[in-house]
Structure formats: C-alpha cells, structure tokens
Structure 1
Amino acid sequence: MENSRFVLAVDGGATKTTLVIYSDNGDTLFEKTSTGSNYHAIGANKVERVITDLLLDAYQAVPFERIEIAAFAMAGIDTEYDLSIVKAIIDNCFQNVPFETQTVIVENDVHSTLIGITSGNPGALILSGTGSIAYAIDRNGNIVRTGGWGHRAADEGSGYWIGQEIIRAVVQFEDGRTNKQTALKKLLYEKLQVDHMEEMLSWLYRPEYTNAQVASISSILCQAVSLRDETAIDIANRAASELSRLASTVLRKINVFEEPFTIYLNGGILQNHPYIRDLFIQEMLEAYPNLSFELCHKQPIEYLVNRAITELN
C-alpha cells in the first residue's frame, strides 16, 4: 500500500452513481453505489450531494488521502456548457472532502467508456440503452461523437424511442387509426398492470414519469417479435436502421471505409435484443465488410477504472 498509486472512478448515470477506488496493482479498495447524478434530471445541488456523500464515505473507508487520478464519467455532458457546470459541481464536492487529487478528469460517460475499452486505440462504441449515442477514436487519437442529444431531440433506436413507438402503436390501434392487430397491446398492458388505454395514459402522464420508465417498455419487444407480430418487427427493423445510421455517421467522421475496425456494442437494446443487434450488424457489414463487433460484457465501472489507469501510464 505504501508504494501504491490510487485511482478513483465515478460512473455517474441517470439512475445510479457508482464510485470505486483501485490501486495500480488492481486491488479494489472501496466501492459504493448511490442514486443517479445527471444534473439535467435532478439539478446541480442534488448531484453535488450525491457525489460529496460518496467521496466522504470513500475517504472514511480508505487509509490514505492522495488520489493520483480521479475520473468522473458523467451522463448529461453533451455541450461545453454542460461540461463547465459538471466541472464546477465536482470542484465543489472536493472542497468538502480532504482527498488530495493529482489529476481530475471530467468527461461524458460514453466518451470515458470508449477510452476505457480501447485504451485510446482506434475503435468505436455504439450504445443503445435509455438513449443512443456513438463515439469513435481514429488512429491519431481524435475522438468524435454522433447522437446522444436526448429524447427531445434525438435518441433514435434507443430504449426510450422503442418504448415511445410501442405506446404510439397501441394508441393508434385503440384510437381506430389502424386496424392492424398487435400483440404489443396485451404485452404493454400486462407490463404496466393496466386494463385499458385510459389507465395507460394516466400512467404515462403521472408526475412520477421518467424517461427510464418509458425505456423499460422496450423489454416487451423481443417477445412480440418472437410471436412474429408485424408491428413489433417493423419497430425493431426501424430501430436497427436508426442505430446503423448512427454508427455509419460516426465512422464517416473518422474516415473509416475499407480497413479493419472494431465496433463495441453496449446498452440494453444491443445487449438484450438479438433481433435488433443481428440486423444492425448485417446492415453495417453491407456497407463496411471489414468491421468486427464485440459485445461489452464488463460492468461500466470496470471500463471507467481502466480509463483512469490509462492516465497513470
């Protein structure tokens, strides 16, 4: 311990925040998870409380004060303005905790995850969870981004987008705007534990509504696709095409055309919806035959620890 160097990594997501401290020899010295820390969702003051409490718990649990690298991978950093806000929050948090930090890194969470996965080598990360986003690194270390602009502006092919499409399909059927029967109605009502459209709409417009809850509706799509439901298959096809367009755009930004290149796949949609994932891969290979694809199997915090460790080398 005396000659070890220590890194702190924070995965600040919309629904939960995990903080870990690792030594440079791979030992986990502290780990704790709290509530979400996307400042767009809960506000800067609440984020500051969440992060400060985790830092204080960590400080009380470890027998040292010096942290070489503190890497904060935070959801909600989409613009330079966002970055300035979150950096100020992190600065305030460290004013309340006696840790001595050599370097503090604050980044978009997907940006950090890509660096952690690739160790800064060329590659792309396509994520489709509650939202959708793509990042890529070229051979010169340049990092580019496509998508991830939130549910009001983008997030096509994401869990939220799929959940919305399912709700729209059911409402259109119930409203008489389409006569096409769909298994999605029964599956949706069962998931929400409602009996008719009025109850479903009450669920949708209640004060406790969150994007993550709408995104969770996407879980019924697999079963509907397995039943060969035409509406579900159409939604899945369009989701795959939107993700393919997202990925193709980020590859064009770093001039990937015919050379071998790896795309890493993460998020609940690409992890848990094989029909969408397989169709996405098929569409991408038609345009980029030398691509390879890898599913991300580790927990996000593990990639973020690796991202922090890359700064030690």
Structure 2
Amino acid sequence: MEQKGKMNQYVLAIDGGATKTTLSLRDAEGKIYFEKTTTSTNYQAIGTEKVEKVLTDLLEDAYTSTGIQNIAVAAFAMAGVDTKNGLAIVRNIIDRSCQNSSFCIHHTIVENDVQSTLIGLTGNNAGALVISGTGSAAYATDGKGRIERSGGWGHRVGDEGSGYWIGREILNTIFRYEDGRLPKPTILTDLVYDLLQINNIEQLNDWIYHPNYTNAQMAKISAVLSKAISLGDERAIDIACEAAKELSLMTDAVLRKIGPIHEKFVVYLNGGILKNNPVILKLYKDYVKELYPHISFHLCNQNPIDYIANRALRSLK
C-alpha cells in the first residue's frame, strides 16, 4: 500500500498508440512500480467507447496492483490528438476514465504522443523527433516552448512513409500486377502470401475487407519489405525510396517552421520502420543531409513510454 510521506510523488505515463497502449506508474526518481501494455487507444481507429474501456481497465489494474492512490502528474500521450477537436474528444475520454478510476490525480496532461515524446527527449533544448511506426509524423521544438509539426494526419490522407503506408503500397503493387497494370512480377506477392498464409488474390482481398481488419494489421505487411529489398526486388526498392523521401519532406518542412537550425541540432528517430529497415534509414539520412549537412541523428534506444515518463517527471514541481 501507499506509504505516508510519498503523496504527490508519483506519476503516470500513458503511451496511447495506434497499435498498442502502455501505462507506467513511477516515483519521482523514475522507479517503476507498475507497467502494462495492452491494445490500441486511437479513437479514430477503434472508437471512443473502446478507448474509454481500455484506459479505465489499465488505470484500475495499476491501482489494484500498487495501492498507490495519489498521483501528482498523469501524462496521457495519445495518438489521434491532431486538432483542437481531436484534443477535446480525447480529453473527455480521459476525464471519464480517470473519474471512474480509484486514483486521485492532481494534474493531467493530454497531448499528441509524438509531441509528448519530443518533450521527454529534448527537455529545454532545441531538437526534432521523426517517428515512423504504424503512422508517421515529425515534430520540432526551438527549446523555448515553441513546437511545430509536419505530417501525422492519419491513415486516410497521410502517414506517408509509415508502416501502414508501406503496407498499403505493397498490397497496391500486388493488385496492380495481378490486373496486368504492372509489367514485371514482384517477390512481394509471395512474401505477403506466406506472411498471411493465403494462396491467391481473392483471399488477399477478403483479408483486407474482413470485419476484424485493423490499421495495425496493414502496418505489419511492411515487415516483408526488407526481405524483398535484399532479394533485389525493384518495386520494393522503389517503395523504400518513396518512404524515405516522404519522411525527409516532413523533416524539412518542420525544420523550416522553427527557423534557423544550429550545428548541434539533433533529429531523434523512432519507430519500427526507421529502426528495422536499414535501407530506408540510410536513404532518409542522405536526403536530409543534402539540405542540412550539419545536423546529427540519434536513433532512440529506449521505449517511448520512458520518454513520456520523463515528460511527466519534468512537470513535477
């Protein structure tokens, strides 16, 4: 149970992503008392009611497991918080979840997951964060409180260079070849069929339009890209080049928004696409270096929840 004298020295960090959600309860020194990962809490993908249930269950699990009731700061870093309306929707969900929990939370932060991670990474320093996972986005700060963004407009109109985008491009390639709209065969077809354990284009179409289909499943299709590239598949190489170019365009756009970039400026990189696809990573760096030769890159080696916890801890008074 909660010890006396420890009141208001605990923080909650919640990483509500498009694929999964992680909650971590830590003290002011960063010691972890509880941590659990569950399903997506992107309301744009699964709806507000499901998000509220997932968050409520997570919060109650954390309380039941620790007996800690008083939380100084709870930082909710949520996918789908891209507009004022989106922020209002998510804040209402979180307010209801917190009210239904056993916690007494003194200060709640609700913001976009990429923005929250950026603040946790950079603190009071200038820097940028480019993420390519299920979705994609670029955020940058001047270190003086100003934060700008590029991309991150969701799977329907954006997420260029992301796992979802790559997966969609791969499947589009397979359908185009099947129709006769692409002259050359691609190894992507066999790799996707093996991944999904299917045998033909009709089964692929059924998989896409199955009632249980999710954006995260589409993003997982991107896993075959590296193998196809290693086998010299021309279309796979083209997709990698396009993905890297799109991510570099996001980076350039957000860096121009925050003004002059000094020589010690760091662009932090995170997400499975940049971490697990060396060809895309190299192409991306080359594209950006052509425009900003003096900046450096840092591939994030911690889990996003750690940076979000840092963001919460920075808010402790």
User: How does the TM-score come out when normalised to structure 2?
Assistant: 0.94
Of the structure 1 ranges 106-115 and 40-49, higher mean CA displacement relative to structure 2 is found in: 40-49
1:37: Cα distance to partner? 1.3
Aligned counterpart, 1:260: 264
1:29: Cα distance to partner? 1.3
Q: Please tell me whether the aligned partners of residues 132 and 147 of structure 1 are also in contact (alpha carbons under 8 angstroms).
A: yes
Unaligned ranges ≥5, structure 2: none
Aligned counterpart, 1:300: 304
1:171: Cα distance to partner? 1.4
Unaligned ranges ≥5, structure 1: none
Q: Which residue, 213, 219, 229 being the options, matches 1:215?
A: 219
Aligned counterpart, 1:55: 59
3-state DSSP of counterpart to 2:106: strand
1:258: Cα distance to partner? 5.2
Aligned counterpart, 1:227: 231
Deviations 1:139-187 (A, max 9, x none): 3220111111111111111111111111111211111112212211211
Deviations 1:260-305 (A, max 9, x none): 3100111111010000000100111111011100111111111111
User: How does the TM-score come out when normalised to structure 1?
Assistant: 0.96
Q: Which residue, 111, 115, 118 being the options, matches 1:111?
A: 115
Is residue 2:85 matched to residue 1:81?
yes
Aligned counterpart, 1:251: 255
Cα distance between partner residues in 1 of 2:257 and 2:155: 23
In the TM superposition, 1:88-127 aligns within 5 A as: 88-127=92-131
Cα distance between partner residues in 2 of 1:83 and 1:165: 30
Aligned counterpart, 2:29: 25
Is residue 2:182 matched to residue 1:178?
yes
CA RMSD between the two structures: 1.5
Q: Please tell me whether the aligned partners of residues 11 and 73 of structure 1 are also in contact (alpha carbons under 8 angstroms).
A: yes
Is residue 2:140 matched to residue 1:150?
no
3-state DSSP of counterpart to 1:126: strand
Aligned counterpart, 1:137: 141
Instruction: For 1:66, give the aligned amino acid.
Output: N
Instruction: For 1:43, give the aligned amino acid.
Output: G
Residues 144 and 202 of structure 1: is their aligned pair in 2 closer, same or farther, counting only changes over 3 Å?
same
Cα distance between partner residues in 2 of 1:303 and 1:6: 16
Aligned counterpart, 1:290: 294
1:7: Cα distance to partner? 0.7
4+ runs deviating over 3 angstroms: 1-4, 256-259
Of the structure 1 ranges 107-116 and 56-65, higher mean CA displacement relative to structure 2 is found in: 56-65
Aligned counterpart, 2:44: 40
Cα distance between partner residues in 2 of 1:85 and 1:54: 19
1:120: Cα distance to partner? 3.6
Of the structure 1 ranges 17-26 and 298-307, higher mean CA displacement relative to structure 2 is found in: 17-26
Residues 85 and 290 of structure 1: is their aligned pair in 2 closer, same or farther, counting only changes over 3 Å?
same
1:122: Cα distance to partner? 0.8
The number of equivalent residue pairs is: 313
1:35: Cα distance to partner? 2.2
Percent of aligned positions with the same letter in both sequences?
54
Is residue 2:74 matched to residue 1:70?
yes
Cα distance between partner residues in 2 of 1:139 and 1:91: 30
Instruction: For 2:203, give the aligned amino acid.
Output: E
Instruction: For 1:168, give the aligned amino acid.
Output: N
Q: Which residue, 142, 162, 165 being the options, matches 2:166?
A: 162
